[in-house]
Amino acid sequence: MTGIGVNELLVSVREGVVSIDGIARAVRGQKFVLSAAGVLSTSDTNGVDDWEWIEKSTPAIDLNGRLVHEALEWVSRESGRSIQYRSAEAEALARTATLHGNFDIEPSRALEIFMMTVDLKARQEGDVIVVSKD
């Protein structure tokens, strides 16, 4: 959101609920701006676009020996995207194939790289990571 000044509070809720003494309340997927004068405006978040800063600040992760499914869950958590498997076969492979290496890059970029090492494809479609065997 643009135009937020030092006399305003912007709160975006990715998970859970945020409430300020009965003045303002937002649930998952909502945000609000509260001005110093007490003026409140509430709106929906822009999906994953509101959370890009989280990916940029995510610490490196050691994926060595971890399952592809665990790595996908990490990307999901850090990017705010859900995971959708196109087939039971793709999910089964993600739950058995292991990865090797450390990734000191943003989760979405790490996803591109570690998926090259397994017989699966992953693409980001808006707020969803779609995993397929083809």
| pLDDT tens per residue, range 98-128 | 998 777 788 888 898 899 989 999 999 988 9
Tokens of 29: 């997927």
CA–CA separation, 19 vs 82, rounded Å? 25
- Check whether 84 has a pLDDT greater than 90: yes
Mean per-residue pLDDT over the chain, rounded: 85
Mean pLDDT within 75-92: 93
Q: Which domains does the chain have, with CATH numbers?
A: 8-45 (no CATH), 56-132 (3.55.50.30)
Alpha-helix runs per DSSP H in the chain: 52-56, 68-79, 88-94, 107-114
CA–CA separation, 45 vs 130, rounded Å? 22
